[in-house]
Amino acid sequence: MKRLFRFFKGYKKEMVFAPFFKFFETLTDIVIPLIVANMIDIGVKSNDVKYIVTYGIVVVVLNIVGIASAILCQRFTAVAANGVQYEIRNGLYRHINTLSHAELDKYGTATLNNRITRDVGVIKSALSTFLRSVMRTPFLLIGSLIMAMIIDLKLSLAFVVVMPLVTAIVFIIFKLTEPLYQKTQSNLDKVSEITRENLQGSRVVRAFNKQDYEEKRFEVASLRLRKSYTKVTNLSSALHPLTSTVINFAIIAVIWFGGVQVNVGGLSQGQLIAFVNYLTQIGSALVSLANLIIQFIKAHNCACRINEIFDTKPSIIETNHEHIELKPSKQTPKIEFKNVSFAYSESAKYAIKNFSVKIMPGETIGIIGGTGSGKSSIINLIPRFYDTSEGTVFIDGVDVKNFSFHDLRSKIGIVPQKAVLFKGTLKENLRWRKKDATIDELVKAVKISQSEEFVNELDGKYDFKVQAGGKNFSGGQRQRLTIARALVGNPEILILDDSASALDFATDAALRKAIKQEVKATIILVSQRANTVKNADKIIVLENGDIVGIGKHNELLQTCPVYQEIYNSQTK
């Protein structure tokens, strides 16, 4: 937990003032029972109305001070707790954005989402409880104990019995619940993961009539979460009744023996009432302490999960932050793969093996192959979404590792397999590569991507509101708009990763024709369609990560059996 203290620095003032005002509130709680005792023993006993009224006003004033202090404490606590939550959440989100694809693949979206929302929220709740209790609980505990001892030292021995018993109960429950909270968090991650999969893939689930199967899978995970939640809740909820029982027995003992003392004149009625009040306050303080410990158990587990993300270092590191001035040359390959091999993890087999290719400026390259042949793996190495396991990737003769991320990725317009749009206006989505792109630039990109017809029919056209994920567009429309987004800003390299899979053949052909005529860039077309790549300057045929053919369409039909098989299966 202390490793997160760096996020507390901006809220030192609030974290000092919150306990300070809670101290005044607690002070009034300790003093009032003694004043009430005197009102009973002196004012009521002697029928002194003036005394009762005078000290009654004092009690009211102290209550007002206590209420004001409580409000100020709550205000400073809210500012500090919510501020720290904001800082941790922002820091965590910034760190997640520095992680490479390999680390994101390792954790998964569901657990990252839980850690940045729920886990940070638990730490905020623990901090809030701490600021309200750090002064109140120990001061109320010690102050009430001292005041009780002043009233009657022998009777206060009840506290000597109560405190070890309550401490033992707290310690046992702490030991039992700590591992259960960790298990509950893991179960929650699993439920979140299944929920996300089902909501995103709802069409697929329904298309295959797998609702019953998915409901059963969710039910199993949810039941596991319910059992762990129930177990940990049962244990932690036992804390209050157990401690209250011990304290109530102590109160009974105090009233019994205190009553005897009142009868023999060793103790006044007011003192006995004050003594019971102090004992109740001590019980309340012990319960608050126990609840605070439970909160800190939860916060500790959440802090460990958050620190696990902070401790994860990106496998792809930006080694150069400076801009590299390049002099374009037609003799220098725009992109070169030199003896490149790549595996997604150290234990996995190679997705690409000894891949060497030169792509000259302005060339259009087609990459084709079956599923799992390594097509997407190759293009993910160009913008450094992953780093090569062996070999080097060059752009304009410079190792991609020597570019800053900004310089490298600003050269590239990439259209991924999964077309993703973001909530906002269409104009904002199209300007992702170039913030200050003019409307004319947007119109040109939309026209090339064959999106002009349906965009002009939208309500507000470029000011049309896009839903999260682009759900208010069809699959083909989303693909064309992501192509338009990549074209804005005139990238030097345009990568289309199977980005026409949702388009009909006529639209696909029109798109390729428009790109060839209008786009002055080095283009890489990744596809499983032979028609999409057949007019490329060079076609690379992959199988199981190996190059099995390079050449033009007609050459490959004569020399490459894999290409022949793909082409014949799609045309005959």
pLDDT digits (tens, 9 = 90+) for 73-124: 889 988 998 989 899 999 888 888 888 888 887 887 778 888 888 888 888 8
Which architecture characterizes domain 2-181+232-311 according to CATH? Up-down Bundle (1.20)
Say what percent of the chain tops pLDDT 70: 96
What is the chain's Cα-based Rg?
Answer: 35
Contact (CB, 8 A) for 513 and 320: no
Q: Distances in Å between the alpha carbon of 346 and those of 107, 123, 226, 250, 390?
A: 17, 35, 37, 63, 12
- In this prediction, residue 394 carries a pLDDT of 92
- The class level of CATH for 335-571 reads alpha beta
Q: Is 540 helix (H, G, I), strand (E, B) or coil?
A: strand
Sorting pLDDT into bands at 50, 70 and 90, what band is 205? low
CA distances from 102 to 83, 228, 375, 407, 412 (A): 31, 31, 17, 22, 21
Q: Parse the chain into domains and list their residue ranges.
A: 2-181+232-311, 335-571
The share of the chain scoring above pLDDT 90, in percent, equals 1
CA–CA distances in Å: residue 370 to residues 65, 352, 530: 76, 14, 11
Q: Which residue would you say has higher pLDDT here, 177 or 206?
A: 177
Q: Which residue has the tokens 């206006």?
A: 425
pLDDT tens digits for range 226-277: 888 788 777 777 777 787 787 778 778 777 777 777 777 667 777 777 777 7
Q: What is the mean pLDDT of residues 326-349?
A: 81
What does the alpha-carbon distance between residue 556 and residue 247 come to, in Å, rounded to a whole number?
87
Residue 186: the pLDDT is 78
Percent of the chain that is helix, strand, coil (3-state, to 5): 65, 10, 25
Question: Distance of alpha carbon 537 from its chain centroid, rounded?
Answer: 44
Of residues 151 and 203, which shows the higher confidence score? 151
Pick the most confident of 15-19, 171-175, 217-221: 15-19
3-state secondary structure of 97: helix
* Residue 295 and residue 125 in contact, taking contact as beta carbons nearer than 8 Å: yes
Query: So what's the pLDDT on residue 207?
Result: 65
Record the pTM: 0.71
Distance CA 104, CA 159 (A): 54
The answer to whether 500 and 511 have CB atoms below 8 angstroms apart is yes
* Average pLDDT taken over every residue of the chain: 82
The pLDDT tens digits of the residues spanning 511-538 come to 888 888 888 888 898 888 788 888 888 8
